[in-house]
Structure 1
């Protein structure tokens, strides 16, 4: 198991280095002068030159890349010229919103999807299966921002049970959690629809195996057959989708964050791109890439735990 984890970790580090080259190169070839965008079209040449020097834009590309990599390795992501603040501080402030939101949404999605997928697989071809998968198809088709607006109208405007937007900070945990409930539900429902369909498909493949028929022939209860024997062997595709969903929930929530006025990572990177704040964009994107690689590593470890044959490559 240790060799398996070390091998996956080495692949992750190599992937991170390649991704850093791609991110840095992609931002370098973008049109426009960051200094002119920040200072405006009427800025004097002296001010533009001073800002370019301050941002390091007058240095060779290779030197800027090495300096950027060395800074990130020591935890220094640079300083935002738009916000006049260290990028690490900006990211930490936004992660305090996006990470709990992603975790709550992922927990809700999993809690909904696994029982629904198992229920539908156990009743394949029955009306209950058709209804469950029909609702899942609706969840896949309808965008999450529509769910968000509907939730605001019902629970914030109509029932006045939850806030419609904003984030008060974690100084008072209960109001902060209440502010994340509606966004988490809006994000979780479409993801639960996708995950339930994947769970059903994986379970159907497993339920036709010989060991499942043997377990039933031994007289084991249906609940034990489904949850103890079938689900574990159907977990690999489910874990894959869970890993992808967490990465999406952490980074791909720009629209939902704008609907609920949440100061998360999605809004930060969207604003930084619009303001051509390359330091912030590079830092946030590399953080998200590192998060995706870490999640994939954890998913690979989950694969090995679910299927011991993967530890030896069989």
Structure 2
């Protein structure tokens, strides 16, 4: 198991290295000069050249890449071209919104999907199963930004239970901050819960058809006992994969929801940085998101081994 983990860590490190090269090169070929954008259309070429030198944009590409990588390894993500503050401060302020929102949405998605998937699988082709699959199909089909607008219309404008947008900050109190994240979290969670519930149902039905489940039933266990005691744990492997992917998607893909609710998260930060050609912010945020995806993948691999001891024996 230790050897397997070391191999996975090496593989993930190489993935991060390759991703950093791709991210840097892609941002290098994006049209638009950050210095010219900051100075304006009628700026003097000499002033633009001076600003490029001040920002380090006149240095060779390889040198700037190495400087960026070494700085990140030391915790220095560089300085924003636009805000003239360290990128780490910008990211720290924004991730304090995006990360709780992601965890909130993932918790809601899991709490909804697991009981729904198990209930549907335990009543295959019954009215309850058909109803849940119909609702989940609707949840997959509806775009989350449209659902977010409906939530704002109903709960913020009509009922006035929640605010229509904005984030008061954690200084205002945990409950107040969580209340402002509730509608965005629901808008993000319901489509993901629909996907996860369908995967849970499909995986559990496949497991219930296995020989070891039929053997357990033949020994006298009820269908419910066989499902909870034997089938559920073996059906978790594909479900864990989807949960890991959903965490990465919710963290990196909440830009539309953050704009709908005016949340100062990472998604809006990347959107603003792209529009302002603040490439150092774009690179740093994207590589942090890549690291989050890689780290979650590693944790999912560990969860595989915990959920299914057969995987540990195969690796050994």
Do both share a fold (TM > 0.5)?
yes
The reply on whether 1:292 has 2:287 as its aligned counterpart is no
* Residue 217 of structure 1: how far off its partner (Å): 2.6
The reply on whether 1:156 has 2:156 as its aligned counterpart is yes
Q: State the secondary structure of the residue aligned to 2:220.
A: coil
* Residue 269 of structure 1: how far off its partner (Å): 0.4
Contact 1:212 1:225 in 2 (8 A): yes
Contact 1:4 1:311 in 2 (8 A): no
* Residue 216 of structure 1: how far off its partner (Å): 2.1
Q: Distance in 1 between matches of 2:248 and 2:214?
A: 37
List gaps (5 residues or longer) in structure 2.
none
Q: State the secondary structure of the residue aligned to 1:85.
A: coil
Match of 2:249 in 1: 248
* Residue 227 of structure 1: how far off its partner (Å): 2.4
List gaps (5 residues or longer) in structure 1.
none
Q: State the secondary structure of the residue aligned to 1:79.
A: coil
TM-score when normalising by structure 2? 0.97
* Residue 125 of structure 1: how far off its partner (Å): 1.5
Match of 1:305 in 2: 306
Q: Distance in 1 between matches of 2:228 and 2:3?
A: 30
The reply on whether 1:214 has 2:215 as its aligned counterpart is yes
Match of 2:35 in 1: 35
- Paired positions, count: 314
Which 4+ residue blocks in structure 1 deviate beyond 6 angstroms?
none
TM-score when normalising by structure 1? 0.97
Match of 1:170 in 2: 170
Match of 1:181 in 2: 182
CA root-mean-square deviation: 1.2
* Residue 221 of structure 1: how far off its partner (Å): 4.0
* Residue 277 of structure 1: how far off its partner (Å): 0.3
The reply on whether 1:223 has 2:227 as its aligned counterpart is no
**Deviating more after overlay: 291-300 vs 120-129:** 120-129
Match of 2:237 in 1: 236
**Deviation per CA, 1:166-224, whole angstroms, max 9, x where unpaired?**
10000121210100011101100000000011111101110001111122233334433
**Deviation per CA, 1:2-49, whole angstroms, max 9, x where unpaired?**
222211111110100000000001111122211111211111112211
**Deviation per CA, 1:237-290, whole angstroms, max 9, x where unpaired?**
101110110001111011111111100000000110111100100000000000
Match of 2:281 in 1: 280
| Correspondence 1:129-140 to 2 at 5 A | 129-140=129-140
Q: Distance in 2 between matches of 1:46 and 1:5?
A: 54
Q: Distance in 2 between matches of 1:288 and 1:226?
A: 37
